Homo-oligomer: A and B are copies of this chain.
Amino acid sequence: MKEGPDIAQIGALIGDPARANMLTALMSGRALTATELAGAAGITLQTASSHLSKLEAGKLVRQRKLGRHRYFSLFDDDVGLLLENLMGFAASRGLLRQRLGPKDPSLRKARICYNHLAGDYGVRMLDSMIAEEIIESREDELVLTDSGSMRMTGLGIDLESLTKRRRPLCRTCLDWSERRSHLAGSLGEALLSLFLDKGWAKREAESRRIAFTRSGERTFLDLFAVPPAT
């Protein structure tokens, strides 16, 4: 017997509440210091340090030294996708965290998923892009069309530099609150940065929430109009 990969190790890594909290905090896409992560998990710095070295050994997070700080972030996109997946599963089993303040409609509306837009607005964006034939869905992957490339470039996205990287341009990511897919991959990341750079939306501190400005929201909804319901 004993066939197949070892899922227990990863389960155990994610299974500790303190570590799960840190990973969730890192889903904000920010690189956080050990002290910040300790605060997010509600434990002392020493304990956090021990947890982080385990997460690092398991290739779930990576660290970058910057001055006397150590900035931790998720190891790669795959970790983000897996965590979002797990959240979807947990939500489907009715496993919500105890101290879930308000039901957080704003979190369902627009939030950051590691490095791209998620929530109602994220799903809506992908829907629109497919309806507008900016993206085509082939087999199980998403492909940017020629006309889509032009529109993205028109928005100010440097596709050239994006495609140079080895990371896939477009990926789907299952949204735990909407139970449908939104756009991940380097294009998903680039689009979110664009929104932030242009000031259409802002990230809230210490949260995954994305807050659109009034005019930014109008522009966004105009740009990614949803086709009338069939």
Contacts and interface: CB of A to CB of B under 8 A. Distances in A.
A154 interface: no
A35 interface: no
A87 B9 CA distance: 11
A90 B176 contact: no
A207 B24 contact: no
A26 to B, nearest CB: 12
A176 to B, nearest CB: 6
What is the oligomeric copy number? 2
Contact of A11 (B1, B3, B11): B11
Interface residues of A, number: 62
Contacts of A96: 4-6
A190 B159 CA distance: 42
Interface centre among A6, A20, A130 (most CB of B within 10 A): A6
A98 B8 CA distance: 12
A119 to B, nearest CB: 11
14 contacts: A2-B97, A2-B98, A2-B99, A3-B24, A4-B107, A5-B176, A7-B23, A7-B83, A8-B17, A8-B19, A10-B90, A11-B20, A58-B93, A59-B93
Interface of A: 1-17, 19-21, 23-25, 27, 40, 58-59, 78, 82-83, 85-93, 95-101, 104, 107, 126-127, 130, 137-140, 172, 176, 180-181, 206-208
